[in-house]
Amino acid sequence: MSKQKLSDNERLKAQSNLLRGTISDDLQDQLSGGFQGDNFQLIRFHGMYQQDNRDIRQERLKQKLEPLHTVMLRIRLPGGIITPKQWLGIDEFASIHTEYGSIRITNRQAVQLHGVLKRNIKPVHQLLHSLGLDAKATAGDVNRNVLCTSNPVESELHQQAYEWAKRISEHLLPKTNAYAEIWLDGEKVQRDDENETILGNTYLPRKFKTTVVIPPQNDVDIHANDLNFIAIGENGELTGFNVLVGGGLAMTHGDTTTWPRTATDFGFVKTQDVLKVAEAVVSTQRDWGNRTNRRNAKTKYTLERVGTAAFKQEVEKRAAITFEASRPTEFTGRGDRIGWVAGIDNAYHLTLFIPSGRLLDNEMKKQKAGVAAIAAVHKGDFRLTPNQNLIIANVQEEDKATIHQLAVDYGLIDTSVTEQRKASMACVSFPTCPLAMAEAERVLPDVSLEIERLLDKHDIGDRSFIFRITGCPNGCGRAMLAEVGLVGRALGRYDMYLGGNSIGTRIPRLFSSNAPINQILATLDELIGKWASYPDTTIGFGDFCVETHIVLPVTHAPEDFYM
Ligand code: SRM
Ligand code: SF4
């Protein structure tokens, strides 16, 4: 492989002077709203993507205007925890200085601000800094925002697990001073003082994703991630983690050298070895990952190419540890428990269902204003969930009524939301995502309504299945871990995958290709009808599809994925 030509991103990283490029010069050029040349890619390492509004792109082209360039900025929040004060700062910026005026909770527990004009980019980074936040490494070929199971009631382990998510995130951050210099007017440092010992001077071959998860919840969807730490506790004390490596969901239509893959179990490690193991997995992928073909550059492909045993052995060597046998664990679900729950610490937590994580005020709803109103009085914290919802966490008994009333007043509590709707997810897609092939977030409400009608029609309105739509095969909506997953092909047309399971441990299989939504719904009508009349009424829809041979299970992707 070393003889093959490196991908252009490798040149770009090598020539970037540790991620500085000429971003500062580009910032001065207010004639163009965009970033030029390598800087277009380099700003990603600083948490930003250049975008334009695709709804008005053609119109601007007709008028011979440059696309209205803005950036989408992604804020790093390990474990998704944010204080009310930080939220209020972001909320004000989103209202005044972004094209869409929205806050988007992502399915990796981060916040995205869409439509930030060039002149507002430096101010927003400075604002984040003043709030104790940053956008470091939320994009680019680095370790991204580290996820942690969000439900604080689930176990006494949450605080300990969350601390690990934060530590792993900090430990694996780029060490370059570029972010401080460019955005925070930080002092320039001597290049010799910057040492990218973990990521290397050309960073990773591709994006890298890490989670910390507390069974029985698999809300973080471990199999979408390169590196996972499954918390193991004894009597409320965290003793260590089972480590899983090499998950990932993206593929490319028509390219069978790309596929989704579940992560491989490497074994158990004690807490004292966590950072060593994280570093060893990252550095093995750094050195062994494919730097010639970005389509095959993620850890999942490295594992398949070198073999899982060889990769694991190398990690053990680098971390100077031996994995013990994984401890038994069981996942039972992935969803959020919407509504109030009592925590173990005499505090209460209110999980709000936020459709596709989009907080936006308009004539119909004022949910963004509602969260801001809660933030103004809330003394606990907020937690963003990997299902794009929001938890008002650590509410004291005496404050419960106030918070509840605010949530009701602003339409943040809607008891009519069905279990099916709660089990559904979509990626952002149009109008901001430049890679979108089909709608996702914007069609989810209508498609969900139709699915609810089908469940009612077959008298099983009390049942639900994990349903996800993703606007292209990059798979951001994690459709490739759904019981029914739609993957965009073209406007209005989707591939339908069936046979994932409710706990997210099985990849679904292609059932129909390039179909319009009405055809997909007609197929679902028939299949849901069969599910409704199946004697075992406890079986999930994905398992039903496998058990009745509607699809063959994918037992070992990649081998049997394209069968
Ligand atoms: Fe993603 C690229 C949105 C989670 C796989 N993703 C993008 C971009 C930045 C488009 C781009 O490159 O220009 C999208 C921005 C759209 C917009 O306008 O906001 C985008 N991805 C999202 C989010 C916001 C979806 C959401 O609705 O929540 C999620 C942000 C997470 C975060 O906070 O960091 C998001 N993306 C995912 C996931 C799911 C996950 O990680 O749990 C995946 C599949 C898992 C995986 O990585 O295998 C995912 N996104 C991708 C890929 C394909 C990567 C690959 O392996 O080939 C791309 C394209 C790329 O990297 O080249 C991509
Ligand atoms: Fe965009 Fe595709 Fe990701 Fe959806 S899946 S946000 S369309 S890159």
Lowest mean pLDDT among 289-293, 362-366, 410-414, 541-545: 362-366
β-strand 467-470 against 484-490: which pairing, if any? parallel
Specify the long-range contacts of residues 553-556, CB closer than 8 Å, at least 24 apart: 553/499, 553/506, 553/509, 554/499, 554/506, 554/507, 554/508, 554/509
Which atom from ligand 1 is nearest to the alpha carbon of 298?
Answer: 56
Sort strands 339-342 and 390-395 into parallel, antiparallel or unpaired. unpaired
- pLDDT, one tens digit per residue, over 470-485 is 999 999 999 999 999 9
Task: Determine the average pLDDT of the residues in 43-59.
Answer: 94
Q: Is the pLDDT of residue 152 over 70?
A: no
Start-end ranges of CATH 3.30.413.10 in the chain? Answer: 1-22+139-334, 420-547
Question: Of all protein residues, whose CA lies closest to atom 38 belonging to ligand 1?
Answer: 476
CATH architecture, range 420-547: 2-Layer Sandwich (3.30)
Mean pLDDT of the chain: 95
Residue identified by tokens 């060039």 is 118
Using an 8 Å Cβ cutoff, are 156 and 185 in contact?
no
C-alpha 93/C-alpha 102 separation (Å) is 10
How far, in Å, are 257, 290, 300, 307 from residue 296 at the CA level? Answer: 8, 6, 8, 15
Is-contact 110 384, C-beta < 8 A?
Answer: yes
C-alpha 204 – ligand 1 centre gap (Å): 17
Which fold would CATH assign to domain 339-414?
Answer: Sulfite Reductase Hemoprotein; domain 2 (3.90.480)
Q: CB of 353 within 8 A of CB of 389?
A: yes
Q: What is the pLDDT of residues 277-314, one digit of tens each?
A: 999 999 999 999 999 999 999 999 999 999 999 999 99
Structure token digits, residue 246: 């090499």
Q: Whole-angstrom Cα distance, residue 95 to residue 361?
A: 9
CATH number of the 1-22+139-334 domain = 3.30.413.10
Q: Is 409 helix (H, G, I), strand (E, B) or coil?
A: helix
Query: Quick one: which of 105, 178, 95, 202 has its CA closest to 145?
Result: 105
Sign of CA pseudo-dihedral 403, 404, 405, 407 = positive
Report residue 35 as tokens.
């970033």
pLDDT-derived band at 192, boundaries 50, 70, 90: low
- Where residue 1 falls among pLDDT bands split at 50, 70, 90? very low
Indicate where the chain has its CATH 3.90.480.10 domain(s).
339-414
- Nearest ligand 2 atom to the CA of 434 is 1
Distance 427 CA to ligand 2 centre (A): 6
pLDDT value, residue 440: 98
Q: Token pair 């010639």 is at which residue?
A: 292
Does position 541 have pLDDT exceeding 80, yes or no?
yes
Ligand 2 mean position, distance from CA 475 (Å): 6
Tokens of 19: 């991620």
Active site residues: 74, 144, 207, 209, 427, 433, 472, 476
* Nearest to 327, CA basis, from 231, 220, 221, 222: 231
**Tokens 């406890």 label which residue?**
538
Q: What percent of the chain has pLDDT over 90?
A: 89
Cα(25)–Cα(44) distance, integer angstroms: 17
What's the whole-number mean pLDDT along residues 170-177? 96
Per-residue pLDDT of 442-473, as tens digits, reads: 999 999 999 999 999 999 999 999 999 999 99
Per-residue pLDDT for 554 more than 50?
yes
Digit-coded pLDDT (tens) for 232-271: 998 889 999 999 999 999 999 999 999 999 999 999 999 9
